[in-house]
Amino acid sequence: MNGTVIAVSISAQHNFSKPNVLSVRLVEGLGIEGDAHMGTTVKHRHLVAKNPAAPNLRQVHLIHEELFKEVDAQGFKLAPGEMGENITTRGIDLLSLPEGARLHLGDSAVVEITGLRNPCVHIDRFQQGLKAAMLATGENGEIIRKSGVMSIVIAGGDVGPGDTIRVEMPAGELKKLEVV
């Protein structure tokens, strides 16, 4: 399974949306240089309040561009970075990947998928009703969260639009993604 980086986005502030940039630098074990979520311990404000010493499993947020087309049909307009993601992808079903799947981004960067982003109230503050579009019910009644996946940086490197993405599946039993 291969894909492409469509856009990269960072913000040094804890804003909902992140502006697009020409490239980002991933730093092993920390996240994206200059991004508010960079660090070894959790940076998400809600999670910091619960346990500031928890490991940061949300260093890099990825969303698939195909989601934008899906919600466009429901009347929502989204562009890369507006949902707070760092990397917007095309051609990979991010939500179907198991925990531990690795994405090789460009020449050297590697992130490991840790879990799902849980759609929060900030999504509705951005566009009223969008949070409901980020949720679905599966065949077995399970909740499907569509607002992207979270990851940690395994190997650093520069990543920008047009870079290739190669998926490496984890060895052993595949574990379904949970909210992190």
Is 164 inside any structural domain?
yes
Is 178 inside any structural domain?
no
Whether 91 contacts 2, CB under 8 Å: yes
Q: What is the mean pLDDT of residues 6-31?
A: 97
Q: Could you please report the per-residue DSSP string of 59-98?
A: SEEEEETHHHHHHHTTT----TTTTS-SEEEES--GGGPP
Residue 180 pLDDT = 95
Residue 4 pLDDT = 98
Q: What is the mean pLDDT of residues 126-146?
A: 94
Query: In angstroms, how far is the first alpha carbon of the chain from the final one?
Result: 24
Q: What percent of the chain has pLDDT over 70?
A: 100
How much is the pTM?
0.96
Model confidence band, residue 46 (pLDDT cutoffs 50, 70, 90)? confident
Residue 22 pLDDT = 98
- The dihedral built from the CA positions of residue 45, 90, 174 and 154, taken in this order, carries a sign that is negative
Residue 173 pLDDT = 95
Res. 1: pLDDT tops 80:
no
Residue 165 pLDDT = 98
> Which residues are bridge partners to 159 per DSSP?
24
Q: What is the mean pLDDT of residues 1-29?
A: 96
φ/ψ of residue 79, rounded to 5? -130, 160
Is 106 inside any structural domain?
yes
CA distance 159 to 62: 13
Residue 141 pLDDT = 92
- Burial (CB count <10 Å: 0-12, 13-18, 19+), residue 81: buried
Q: What is the CATH number of the domain that holds 32?
A: 2.40.33.20
Q: What is the mean pLDDT of residues 2-15?
A: 96
Quote the domain boundaries for residue 143.
2-168
Residue 147 pLDDT = 96
Is 34 inside any structural domain?
yes
Is 180 inside any structural domain?
no
Q: What is the mean pLDDT of residues 164-176?
A: 97
CA distance 117 to 178: 9
Residue 66 pLDDT = 97
CA distance 134 to 78: 12
Is 130 inside any structural domain?
yes
The tally of domains found in the chain comes to 1
Is 173 inside any structural domain?
no
Q: What percent of the chain has pLDDT over 90?
A: 92
- What's the pLDDT tens digit per position in 52-105? 899 999 999 999 999 999 999 999 999 999 999 999 999 999 999 999 999 999
Report residue 141 as tokens. Answer: 């009644």
Is 177 inside any structural domain?
no
Residue 137 pLDDT = 93
- Burial (CB count <10 Å: 0-12, 13-18, 19+), residue 61: buried
